[in-house]
Structure 1
Amino acid sequence: MTDLRTPPVNDGDLFSERVRQYAYDRPLQRVQVLEAGCGQGFGLDLRDVRRSVTGVDIDLPGLRAHTEGRADLDSWHLGDLRTVPMPPRAYDVVHASYLIERITQAELVLDRFVAALKPGGLLLVRFRDRATAYGALDRLLPGGLGRLEGRDGPASIYETVASHQGMQWYCMMRGLMVAEEYAGRAAFDRLGRWRGPVDRLCRAVTAASRGRLSGDHTEMAMVIRKPENRFARVI
């Protein structure tokens, strides 16, 4: 198991840096990126990397409006993530940021992402961790914490895989390699004036759960690699 730690301070976002490194090792190749969850956020900072970016997300009005305004996408598909087009072994990178916790049948969707990756490709996932005080409050409070963060769409669902342990188990069962994993508290930064009250409430939840629900982090970032070996136990 990799060490759980705070993301390093380096040249830009961790995921963007890992994709730039991936591209550097393949100078003649156009990097194919699947931006999963394209209805929120603004994607990777790939600078002069030669790439083609396809977006996918569930089809909701707010997510569609955001997707239509993104200039970094070469193409996109919104709909049921169990059926939207994802050709097998077509992508070098699947970037799924704050998606896993807000969908149903998340393991099935992850299976589709893994199947869409080329051998040796990168699955980059960032998600709010359900096994934290913050995740518990986001699940249990009416409407969740999404409105305080400024999130679009309905409250997050948080299936079991949307946790550090759940994602570790998923990777082990699929034969995927977790190359790096980091804990963070970025959700608090999006709360604005609500940061202090929510932080205190999270500490109370941690104490009430006797430490079972961590108050040290709100989310996970994981760099996962699909093995090159075609005989490895992967989808």
Structure 2
Amino acid sequence: MSEVRSVAQRGDLFGQRVREHWSGLPGRRLDVLVAGCAHDEPLALEEIETRATGADEEIPAIRAVLEERADLVSWSLGDLRCVPLPPRSYDVIQLSFLLERIKHAELVFDRLLQSLRPGGLVLLRMRDRKSAYGLLDRITPSLLRRMFWRMLVAPGTPGPLPSVYEPLASSDGIYAFCLSRGLMITDDQRNTSGPARRRRLTVAAVALASKLSNGRYPATHDEITMVIRKPQHHFARVL
């Protein structure tokens, strides 16, 4: 599958693609599933009526965040392989920093896609396991992650959350997944994000990891941002 890179900035990319999607609908409300509720802000869509529902793993730090979010009409926590996800119920899935921190990521992604209507959008953000930051995040012992977490992030940031990084949490993994399921990647960006990347200690560690790996794990980005479209036609694999 060829790679498509958007010229839009990440800040407007998701809103732009959702508005384009909504313009092809008869002015109705958009149903949004927020899968991964600990990080992303609500979509700023102004004139578009939306109804957002949340789903995530049962983790105390995530529950605390959800209890403060007023934009979700309801939410479910638990094993994402079995939390209630009605089939073909959502127009948009906001999939935010989830795939890199869960086990059975492909099974979970398949379940999320079953809840997406034909032609619907997945707005994906995740840490890249093949970046220097992703490498450090997944090999750092959990005790050290807990010790240094508050020093590296802004106050109120939930975590540290699990760092699993199955193969799906990479560009190659997502492209192979989408190809096998007839999904279209319309936008693909690489970004640097997160308060930890602005701390000298972490920036130096990321640069060192990239150098020691001879650039195999680059320090140029840590985040993958994609817009993925589920096909409308009947000849694609049924999801």
User: Same fold by TM-score, threshold 0.5 exceeded?
Assistant: yes
Distance between the aligned counterparts of 1:153 and 1:234, measured in 2?
36
Normalising by structure 2, report the TM-score.
Answer: 0.89
SS in 2 for 1:186: coil
Residue 118 of structure 1: how far off its partner (Å): 0.7
Q: Deviations over 1:60-114 (max 9, x none)?
A: 2221121121111111111111111111111100111111111110100000111
Residue 125 of structure 1: how far off its partner (Å): 0.8
In the alignment, which residue of structure 2 is the partner of 1:160? 167
**1:208 matches 2:208:** no
Is there any run of 5+ residues in structure 1 with no aligned partner, and where? none
Q: Percent identity?
A: 43
Residue 206 of structure 1: how far off its partner (Å): 1.4
> How many pairs align?
230
**Structure 1 ranges of 4+ moved more than 6 A:** none
Residues 1:106 and 1:146: Cα distance change in structure 2 (over 3 Å): farther
In the alignment, which residue of structure 1 is the partner of 2:92? 93
Normalising by structure 1, report the TM-score.
Answer: 0.90
Q: Deviations over 1:117-141 (max 9, x none)?
A: 1110001110000001100000111
SS in 1 for 2:199: helix
The answer to whether the 8 A contact 2:182-2:236 is kept is yes
Matches within 5 A, 1:126-137: 126-137=125-136
Residues 1:146 and 1:112: Cα distance change in structure 2 (over 3 Å): farther
Distance between the aligned counterparts of 1:233 and 1:216, measured in 2?
35
In the alignment, which residue of structure 2 is the partner of 1:8? 8
The answer to whether the 8 A contact 1:97-1:127 is kept is yes
In the alignment, which residue of structure 2 is the partner of 1:46? 45
Residue 4 of structure 1: how far off its partner (Å): 4.6
Is there any run of 5+ residues in structure 2 with no aligned partner, and where? none
Q: RMSD of the TM alignment (CA)?
A: 2.0
The answer to whether the 8 A contact 1:56-1:77 is kept is yes
